Amino acid sequence: MSNKQAAEDGDELRALQQLVTLRFAGDVQSIHGIAHWRRVEQNGLEIARHSGADLLVVRLFAWLHDSRRLNDNEDHGHGARAAAWLTELHGEYFVLDAGRLATLCYACEWHTDRTSTEDATVGACWDADRLDLPRVGTLPDEAYLNTAHGKLLSRHIRHRMTQGHRSR
């Protein structure tokens, strides 16, 4: 199995997923908990299949970017804390070369404070997170998305949400 295939289908992240879930300071059933991480993972993999983004980095972002949240409010700095923690986990729970590790750290650290990126992998990560805004009743906005497929998905989501409102 190729690395790409393993990143998409394999169970190699199971230990990391269990650790992140156990160590989460908040409620794992909350809006920033495990269901969100799973949806970000699915969104990110779908975008990556269309853009060539790094599948393993996208999956790791999904499980780590909100892992150091202390609450469900703004919690400024949770991205930087995630970046710091993941460098400690690197080597034991997952292995990336220096460039991919730097990409993952950047994506986690800046996922709330920066909007746009030219990097396909960072773009897939950030778009995947922002496409899950409907969980809190917010429509995703193309102006804050980076990838062509992320923008397409946002149009589908907006269409579904606005049609749903009309039919109520």
**Of 75 and 142, which CB lies nearer to Fe ion in the complex structure?**
75
**How far is residue 20's CA from residue 68's CA, in Å, rounded to a whole number?**
9
Q: 141: Cβ–Cβ under 8 A, 6 or more apart, which residues?
A: 130, 154
Q: Which of 111, 105, 121 is nearest to 44 (CA)?
A: 121
- DSSP3 helix / strand / coil % (the chain, rounded to 5): 65, 0, 35
Nearest distance from C-beta of residue 30 to Fe ion, angstroms: 11
**Of 65 and 149, which CB lies nearer to Fe ion in the complex structure?**
65
**Of 50 and 77, which CB lies nearer to Fe ion in the complex structure?**
77
Q: 157: Cβ–Cβ under 8 A, 6 or more apart, which residues?
A: 131, 134, 139, 140
Nearest distance from C-beta of residue 13 to Fe ion, angstroms: 17
Nearest distance from C-beta of residue 83 to Fe ion, angstroms: 12
Contact 148, 51 (CB under 8 A): yes
Nearest distance from C-beta of residue 66 to Fe ion, angstroms: 4
Binding site for Fe ion (CB under 5 A): 66, 129
**Of 2 and 42, which CB lies nearer to Fe ion in the complex structure?**
42
